[in-house]
Every structure is written in C-alpha cells, then in structure tokens.
Amino acid sequence: MNCEKVSNSLISYLDGRASAEERSGVEEHLKSCAACRERADEFRRLWDVMAEVPAVEPSFAFDARLRQRIAATVRPKLWTWLVPSPRLAAAVVALVGLSIFVSMQPNKPVVVGNSAPNSEEQFRMIKDLGVLENYDVLSNFDALSDLPGVQATPEQPEQQKPDEPGSGNGES
C-alpha cells in the first residue's frame, strides 16, 4: 500500500471497522513508513484526549426546538432559482456597461513604421483625386495666362505686347 491509500484507510483501521485484509495492509505499511506511523500515533493521542472529555447531552426540549426552527424556515419557491444573486447581477451590469463603453470608443489606427496606408486613408485619397487632377490641369493651363486680370506667377513672367499702352517700349 502507498501513503495515500493508507491515509484513506487509517481512520477505519484505528476505529476497528477495517476488514482483515485492509487491516493487514495498513499494519505492514505502518511498519515501513515512519510518517504514516507518526500520523497514526497522533490520531490515537487525539482520540485518547477526546475520550476524557465528558459527553454533553442536549437539553430536554432541544429536539422540539430544532424541529420548530426547521419548520419555520422559508422554503424556496419553484421559480426562485431564476432570481440572480446580487453579486451576479452587479457583475453582469458592470460587464454590460464596460462593453458599451469600449464599443463607443473611436478606433485609432496603429501605425507601425512605414506601413502602407489603411483602407480609410486610401479611400480619402481616392475621394479627393478628382479635385487634385482638376487643380493640376487648371494650374498648368497656358491659355489662362492670356486672360486679362490674371496675375502672373513668379515662374511665368507676364509677357507684354508692344501695341499696349504703358508697355514700357518708350511710348507714352
């Protein structure tokens, strides 16, 4: 027998309720195992001390009072198991509140190094692509420089024609 089996059989062995086969197995193990033998001795000493304490008899009306208290207890109704305990209800409310709070938070994209733009950024670029193309075409359109009232850009100096008054050709 090993120590675990002996610890399960030790009380019945010391109490005298063990079978002959179980008794012989425990005795052989106790001869070879000092830890189990010490434990058995501690149980014997404890039972010797408990035997010296006088037994207390219950009062005359103990049985009647006990039965009366048992009868006075409220028995749970059939559907009371559906009512949650206050701790469980508080935990569920906290979990639902936390879930709502987390779901209301805006999603912030995580940028790792030089990663490609996510789909939202790509959509914004594609959405503004037509405007950017029109701006590029219009800003480089040479016909606009000939219109009156258009200011010349520093890259393209305004060309003055010789037949215009005040063109700087010496005629006034």
Task: Give Cα separations from 64 to 11, 46, 74 (angstroms).
Answer: 34, 33, 18
Count the Cβ atoms, other than its own, within 10 Å of residue 33: 16
Task: Express each pLDDT in 37-82 by its tens digit.
Answer: 999 999 999 988 988 988 888 888 998 999 999 999 887 777 777 7
Q: What whole-number distance in Å separates Cα of residue 11 and Cα of residue 17? A: 9
Please state whether the predicted TM-score (pTM) of the whole model is above 0.85.
Answer: no
What is the predicted pLDDT for the residue at 65? 92
End-to-end CA distance of the chain: 130
Residue 153 has pLDDT above 70, yes or no: no
The half-sphere exposure of 161 on its side-chain side, counting CA atoms within 13 A, is 5
Give me the residue spans of the domains in the chain.
1-100, 117-147
DSSP state of 118: -
Q: Would you state the pLDDT for residue 168?
A: 47
Q: What does the alpha-carbon distance between residue 151 and residue 127 come to, in Å, rounded to a whole number?
A: 30
